[in-house]
Amino acid sequence: MITSRTLNLREIVVMAFISAVFGVLYLLWVFLNQVITGVLGPVGGGILAGSWIMAPIVCALIIQKPGVALIAELIAAGTEVMVGSVNAGSVLILGFTQGLGAEIIFAVFRYRSYKLPVLMLAGMAGTFASFLTMYAMYGYSQYSSVVIWAMLGVMLLSGIILGGWGSHYLTHSLVRTGVLHNFALGKAEYQKRTEDSA
Amino acid sequence: MLDAFQKKNCFLQKVNPALKLGSVLVIIAVMIPIFDPWTPLLLFGVTLAMIVGLGGVSIRFLSLLLLPFLLFGFSFIWIQVVFPDERGETILFTIASMPVALENVFTGVSLGMRALVFASWSLLFVLTTEPTRFMLSLVQQCKLPPRFGYGMMAAYRFLPAFQQELQQIRTAHRIRGLGEKRKLKQFKRYFIPLMAGAIRKAERTAIAMESKGFDGKRSRTFYQRIQWNRSDAVFAGMFVALLVVLFYVRMEWFI
């Protein structure tokens, strides 16, 4: 079967639905995040940073086409705004930069490799991009460098673990349910399984 | 509660969503180089007045939404006092041999207020904009391809269904005797069936849309047209005036 490189309606709607589920989870996370940040300061807020990057990585892993990571993160941000996020402005800006960060990594691998290390790298790039954005937006330049470096470290680690490994783990559990047989990842999995049994 | 305010017939509700969203982004950009506490404080006050006065939102509901942000904003202050980039000269008092400088408290208040300004201006958008109008305005004014706009609207419409499904999954697990302990494993147990259901629904929705003749072309007709009107001009004028006044006040008194 020939698959085109552009997105069709089915893939767009699936991306929107996945992002919507994540968008709702994010709403809960935002609340949790604010409590953690309030108590532990911005460094603590970095712990959950990797979870923001999960929607684009899951979508990119499932659909495996150019532009998916960026578009999925924008859709997630848009859905969050529709649901009524209290942080609409920063969510949209962060959505754009995070998606772009992850997208660049997938582009570097020419949209061919979606193995765990690549996903981890994408998660790291996404949280790094969001760190840079928040650095400018929330005036992190006014803090001592110890705090900044600690925060960057925590965020990158969170991006690798939650964003990279977490998305990989969840998506591959999802493949086994069989709902993804119409998509690049599901097809590859299906082929592998039929070859194994043959 | 949210859509009661979004459907009110007040001034802010009539402004084009694309314009309001643009103003949110401009506000964020404008705030970036500001590190004194008074400018964001002033802007925060004006924003609250606008939401209540021009958007018809009740003060109680608004403060309820902003309450968690106060905690969030407070974190900026204490981090700034404990770990500043440069410690200020004017020492107010010391806590356990750690000097607390006035300059650092001011910077901390400024950064905390900045977070509050972002939140309040975002609320100005969210509380006065119907999601459908927002998407239609993105499609009609910002040239977002209809595929994406309507895809997102479809997903938005399914959110109550997700909630119902989550309840169903919870009940199903309970029937099978799966308890509530072990939080992390529990997450996967809910996440996977919810996602699988969402993907199935999405595919069906996409097929239904295509079978009804939705082809994502720009030449489609709309049931609801979002047009530019007088409120947009007034809002834009007010916004520019606000920025000019803010800039002027800052130049005169705060620097």
B15, B127 contact by CB (below 8 A): no
d(CA A173, CA A192) in angstroms, rounded, equals 16
**Does residue A181 belong to any structural domain of this protein?**
yes
Q: Which of A28, A38, A47 is CA-nearest to residue A86? A: A28
Q: Dihedral sign for Cα A1, A76, B144, B129, please.
A: positive
Alpha carbon distance A50, A88 (integer Å): 19
pLDDT at A116 over 90: yes
pLDDT band at residue A161 using 50, 70 and 90 as cut-offs: very high
Q: What mean pLDDT is predicted for residues A27-36?
A: 71
**Buried b vs exposed e over B95-106: b needs ≥16 C-beta within 10 Å?**
eeeeebbebbbb
Rounded mean pLDDT of A80-97? Answer: 84
Task: Tell me the percentage of chain A whose pLDDT exceeds 70.
Answer: 91
User: Is residue A143 less than 8 Å (CB to CB) from chain B?
Assistant: yes
Torsion of CA B63, B66, B72, B77, to 10 degrees: -60
Which residues in chain B are contacts of A92 at CB distance < 8 A?
21, 24-25
| In a domain? residue A2 | no
Domain assignment present for A1: no
**How many Å apart are CA B128 and CA B57, to the nearest integer?**
8
For residue B188, the model assigns a pLDDT of 81
Q: Which pLDDT score, from 0 to 100, does residue A1 have?
A: 41
Angle between helices B146-157 and A68-83 (to 10 degrees): 50
3-state helix, strand, coil in chain A (%, to 5): 80, 0, 20
Task: Indicate the residue of B83, B84, B155 with minimum beta-carbon distance to A20.
Answer: B155
Mutate to test the interface with B, among A7, A82, A97 (most CBs of B within 10 A): A82
Nearest by CB to A174, which of B80, B131, B196? B196
A93/B94: higher pLDDT? A93
CA A46 to CA A135: how far, in whole Å?
Answer: 12
Token pair 């849309």: residue: B209
In tens digits, chain B (255 residues) has pLDDT values of 677 888 888 889 989 999 999 999 999 999 888 888 888 999 999 999 999 999 888 888 888 888 877 877 777 787 787 777 777 767 777 776 677 788 888 888 888 888 889 989 999 999 999 999 999 999 999 989 999 999 999 999 998 898 899 889 888 988 888 766 656 667 788 889 999 999 999 999 999 999 999 988 888 888 888 888 899 999 999 999 999 998 888 888 766
ipTM of the complex: 0.86
- What six digits make up the tokens of A124? 């790291």
- A84–B118 C-beta distance less than 8 A: no
The span from the CA of B202 to the CA of B220, in Å, is: 22
Q: Do B74 and A38 touch (CB under 8 A)?
A: yes
Q: Could you tell me if B62 and B44 are in contact, meaning their C-beta atoms sit under 8 angstroms apart? A: no
Q: Structural domain tally of chain A?
A: 1
Burial category of A171 from C-beta neighbours within 10 Å (exposed 0-12, middle 13-18, buried 19 and up):
buried
Average pLDDT rounded to a whole number, residues A170-194: 87
In 3D space, the residue among A166, A194, A192 whose CA is nearest the CA of residue A58 turns out to be A166
Is A138 among the domain residues? yes
Residue A3 lies in a domain: no
Residue to mutate among A6, A8, A12, with most B CBs inside 10 A, is A12
Give A87's contacts in chain B (Cβ within 8 Å): 118-119, 122
- Whether A104 is covered by a domain: the verdict is yes
The alpha carbon of residue A118 is apart from the nearest alpha carbon of chain B, in Å, by: 23
Contacts of A86 in chain B (CB under 8 A): 65-66, 69, 119, 122-123, 126
Which residues does B183 contact at the CB level (< 8 Å), separation at least 6?
none
pLDDT of res. B207: 94
Residue A141 has pLDDT above 90, yes or no: no
User: Higher confidence at residue A44 or residue A94?
Assistant: A94
Grade residue A2 by pLDDT with cuts at 50, 70 and 90.
very low
A2 contact B CB<8A: no
| pLDDT digit string, tens, across residues A58-76 | 999 999 999 899 999 998 8
Domain with A161, as residue range(s), is 9-197
Instruction: Say which of B78, B202, B214 has its CB closest to residue A17.
Output: B202
